[in-house]
Structures are given as C-alpha cells and as structure tokens.
Amino acid sequence: MDSKQTGIEQPNEEGVKINCNPTYEVELVDAIVKVPADSWNNLMADDNPFNSHQYLLALESSDCVCSKTGWTPLHLLVKETGDKANIVAVMPLYIKAHSYGEYVFDWAWADAYERHQLTYYPKLLSAIPFTPTAGKRLGIATDKTEQEQQQIYHLVADTLNQCLVEYGFSSWHCLFLPEAQFKQFSQTQSLQRVGTQFHWFNRNYADFDSFLAALSSRKRKEIKKERAKVRAADLHFEFVEGAEITAELWLQFFACYQQTYAKRSGHYGYLNLDFFKNLSSTLANNVILLVVRDSEEQFIASALYFKSRSHLYGRYWGALTDVDGLHFEACYYQGIEYCINHGLQVFDAGAQGEHKVSRGFEPVATFSNHEIAHQEFRQAIHSFTLQEANNIKIYMQQLKQKLPYKSVD
C-alpha cells in the first residue's frame, strides 16, 4: 500500500500541505528523516524512548516500517504560518494496509466492513509500530497556552477527518495515549476506547525480599518456589547496557526472538536484525539486553528491555531451550529487581497477560481515540465501545481483588 493508492500525491521534500488556517498549517511527510530530529524530540518532550526520533528512524531505515510491510509513513506536522514556518506540533502517523502490530484490536470492525462489501483498509493510524506502550501521540511546543493547545488538537482532528473524506480512508485511530491526551482528543468528538494492561509499581522497595514481604504468605511462597526452579538449573543472568551489546549478542538474541515468534505466531516477527543492531548506537542509554547463560557459559535465552528515567519496558524475549520457570524469571522477576536496584518506578512488561496479576502487576487502563467515516458503522462501533468500556471497568475491579498484596493503596 503506497500513498498513491489513497489519492494523496507523493510528498516531496517539503511534504504535502493539507489543512491551513490563519495561524497554522498542517503538512504530511512520508519519512521521519524529513523531520529534524531535534525538533521532533523537543516537541515530544517525552522521556519515553519509543516516541523518540531515533526509535522511529530505526524502524524506517531498517525497512521494518514501510509500504511493503503495510506501514506507510505519513507523519503529521503543524507549522506556524508566515516566513519562519516553525514546527509547533508533530504526530507519528501511518497509512495501514492491515491491523497487525497495533494491539488495540479492530479485526471485528474490518470483518464487518467486508461482510457488507465495504473497504476498511487503508486506514490512518497514529501509534508507535509494534509497541503497545502508552506515550504522547501529539507533541506540542511547551510555550503554547492551553487555549492554543486546544486549537492544535482540534486542527489535527479536523485534518484527519478531512483525510477520510478527501482520500478515502475508512477511519483514523490514535492508540495508547496518556489519559490527558485521550481527554483532549475526546473533546474533538472522536470515539473513545478503553483497554487494560498490567504494570508493576515500585513502592520504594529496598530489595526483592522487601517486595516479597508486601505479598500474602501464599503468593510469596509461590514466587519463591518459581525462582527456586530456575536457580536449580544453575543459570547466570546478566544485564548488558546498550553500548556494550555486541554484534554477536544481537545475533544470539535475534535467534531467540525469531524462534519464539515462530512457536507462538507462525512467523519470524515484525522486526529484523538491522533494526536491533541500530539500537546500540541510536538508543544506547535506553536499551538493555538480559543475557541468560547456562553453567557452561552457553547462551540459552535473552530478554530485551528499554528504560526511561522512571520506567522499565519489557519488550521481547526468547529461549533456545526449555527451562521450567525461565520465562517468568527473565521477563518479570529480573525486571522487578532491575527496577528496585536502579530506582525505576514503573515496570511495563508488555500487552495482555492476566497471569501477571499473581506476580504483583496491577491492572491499569489504556486509552485510544477513533473516528469512523461511515456513519452507520460509526454508530454501531460507538455502542460497542461504550459496552466494552463498562466491561473493562468490571474486569479491572475483579482483577484488583486478586492482587497478591497484603494491602494496596
């Protein structure tokens, strides 16, 4: 799917101007490299590594994100009108030819369109590819007043709605927003959707034992039993920081990554080796690789993490051999220990996974906004999202009752 198939002319070096008012104009560009890195990062003003220009560039330069993979970049810029034309807002934006790699599922919506002989793809998506992690989807200059920010939100929503009408997109979707941005976009009358993930919170634990002490006796014993199984296998765990991750380590990790995807999904994953290798230089301060070796110092498993000043993000893991309890150790307990040892406050271990609750991960809400061009389908989807939100609320309340803590604030 390329932009020509949507009726949008191929953006040139200057991009395509699509919406203007006396104060601002909106421009679409077909590559993140066409946006100055400093401008993008300053506007995002976000410690989340996935929102960085470097992360998005690594995805595009490795061809993990391109028209051939169904993710055609069409990033949105808001510029001031006039001679300087300063960029005052940015949004990661893609033309999607499918719904893979998003994690806010709309397959049922696409199926309903197909049953009625309507076309759901292409659609517009603002998200970080293959990354179900909350973060800003619209970076706005910090010197803008609240009223000016609201004007920009409405301008962006109007532009996306204009794209639906003029270029034949079925819908636009803005996924995994922080709650504040979710509320801002909701004021533009877009549909609201709520989901849930499971995050671990560091309550100033001195060490892993102090975390365990906060749990009920039964849960504490279960976790100790799980970790004892792994210790019995005589494995060695080592966190390797970004700049120290060698080409050989990336190669070994990639073998684990592909094998695990093949077992679980029947394909070898969305990302390639070039993407991962880029991270050692472009995001050296944010990426960490957990290396697991056996008693003979043979590489047997690994887990890839990212970090910010406050968060640890668990992303991918894989093993070349089966060891009872190794997944929980590598993906959860080692991450919890890292947070405690380095003073990180939140551990986001990835999408889904109700089994995380018994290990101390708490249900948190996720937020997304949507707009549907077809009015009858919009009404039906709106009814669905309202019922879904109520079900999610009940589900989260039920899971909170299952948390293993002696008491939860």
Does a structural domain hold residue 408? Answer: no
Residues 244 and 308 in one domain: yes
- Report the alpha-carbon distance of residue 338 to residue 274 in Å, rounded: 27
Reduced to 3 states (helix: H, G, I; strand: E, B; else coil), residue 399 is helix
Residues 217 and 336 in one domain: yes
Residues 192 and 315 in one domain: no
- Report the alpha-carbon distance of residue 291 to residue 20 in Å, rounded: 51
Range of the domain at 101: 3-196+365-400
Q: Tokens standing for 233? A: 């296998």
Model pLDDT, residue 2: 43
Does a structural domain hold residue 358? Answer: no
- Report the alpha-carbon distance of residue 51 to residue 65 in Å, rounded: 15
Residues 61 and 189 in one domain: yes
Residues 317 and 247 in one domain: yes
By the 8 A CB rule, do 318 and 167 touch? no
Within 8 A by CB and 6+ apart from 245, the residues are: 279, 280, 287, 289
pLDDT digits (tens, 9 = 90+) for 40-72: 999 999 899 999 999 999 999 999 999 999 999
Does a structural domain hold residue 357? Answer: no
- Closest by CA to 347, choosing from 332, 358, 359, is 332
pTM: 0.93
Specify which residues 389 forms β-bridges with.
none
**Which position has the token pair 């300053």?**
42
Outline where DSSP puts E strands in 92-166: 94-96, 123-126, 139-140
Residues 333 and 374 in one domain: no
Q: What are phi and psi of 245, to 5 degrees?
A: -80, 115
List of the chain residues with pLDDT < 50: 1-5, 10-12, 409
Residues 81 and 29 in one domain: yes
Does a structural domain hold residue 351? Answer: no
Composition of the chain by helix, strand, coil, percent to 5: 40, 25, 35
Within 8 A by CB and 6+ apart from 158, the residues are: 19, 188
Question: Helix H segments across 214-345?
Answer: 217-232, 247-265, 273-282, 326-328, 334-342
Model pLDDT, residue 9: 54
Residues in the chain: 409
Residues 153 and 211 in one domain: no
Does a structural domain hold residue 354? Answer: no
Does a structural domain hold residue 407? Answer: no
Count the domains in the chain: 2
Residues 181 and 325 in one domain: no
Residues 148 and 207 in one domain: no
Write out the DSSP string of 172-199: EEEEEE-HHHHHHHHTTT-EEEEEEEEE
Does a structural domain hold residue 275? Answer: yes
- Closest by CA to 289, choosing from 326, 256, 260, is 256
CATH number at residue 254: 3.40.630.30
Does a structural domain hold residue 356? Answer: no
Compute the C-alpha angle 125/129/134, nearest 5°. 85
Residues 238 and 137 in one domain: no
Residues 233 and 313 in one domain: yes
